[in-house]
Chain A
Amino acid sequence: QVQLQESGPGLVKPSQTLSLTCTVSGGSIRSGDYYWSWIRQHPGKGLEWIGYIYYSGSTYYNPSLKSRISISVDTSNNLFSLKLSSVTAADTALYYCARFYSTYYYESSGYTRGYFDYWGQGTLVTVSS
């Protein structure tokens, strides 16, 4: 059973860099079928995709956050990380890491393009001085 666990500071000061790590167990981050993702949820709000990374290091970022995001992968330790710079109170959120099963196939009248099959429990990050 794959498990993902987020870790990192729960409190970050404005203008500083938020840094989180997601440790993966029960499966290899080197598997070619998956992208390793960060998703956040503002208090009482919906889900916002931040970005994801392939084990080779290829990344895709949310265009609205791209200038402040860096996602990296450490295959030796089976983990991946998020850095979000110049944080403000608007970055206060519950941050999830998740595994995205990357598939693409035609079925009946449309294409399936993958889905998030495992999620961490989330870690709350508050931006405050």
Chain B
Amino acid sequence: SSELTQDPAVSVALGQTVRITCQGDSLRGYYASWYQQKPGQAPIVVIYGKNNRPSGIPDRFSGSSSRNTASLTITGTQAEDEADYYCDSRDSSGNHVIFGGGTKLTVL
């Protein structure tokens, strides 16, 4: 299937660790990218590849992958991390982008 499944909402206490997952057959053997979107803003990439952070992304963000599941982990979550997070991959053709449905992260 060419779908990516994310939990709609996740919450985490300030300073704690949270894992956001993305599941789909298209992830077998491929890494997802992860995007953070804050209200009223365009998404920004926070993780790409196995576990690569663009310049300016704090090192509390990390990525991992196992079989058909990609994970974004935030260690020591900060209030400013409250946002929607999206994963992406490609469909079975490899030519078309697919996004997960997004996870709304609430920092308590």
Contact = CB atoms under 8 A, between A and B. Distances in A.
Interface of A: 37, 46-49, 52, 60-63, 96, 100, 105, 107-117, 119-122
Contacts of B43: 47, 96, 116, 119
Contact of B98 (A49, A52, A117): A49
A46 B101 contact: yes
Given A107-B50, A117-B45, A46 B99 contact: yes
A46 B100 contact: yes
Interface bracket on B: 20 to 34
Interface in B27-52: 29-31, 33, 35, 37, 41-45, 48-50, 52
A33 to B, nearest CB: 14
A107 B31 contact: yes
Interface stretch (B16-24, B73-81, B87-95): B87-95
Nearest to B90: A113
B23 to A, nearest CB: 15
A69 to B, nearest CB: 12
Given A46-B101, A47-B35, 7 more contacts: A46-B99, A47-B102, A60-B96, A96-B42, A115-B33, A116-B43, A121-B42
A121 B78 CA distance: 24
Contacts of A113: 30-31, 89-90, 94
A97 B43 CA distance: 11
A119 B42 contact: yes
A125 B45 CA distance: 24
Given A96-B42, A112-B48, A48 B29 contact: no
A112 B31 contact: yes
Overall SS of chain A's interface: strand
Contact of A116 (B30, B31, B45, B65): B45
A37 B35 CA distance: 15
A37 B42 CA distance: 14
A47 B99 contact: yes
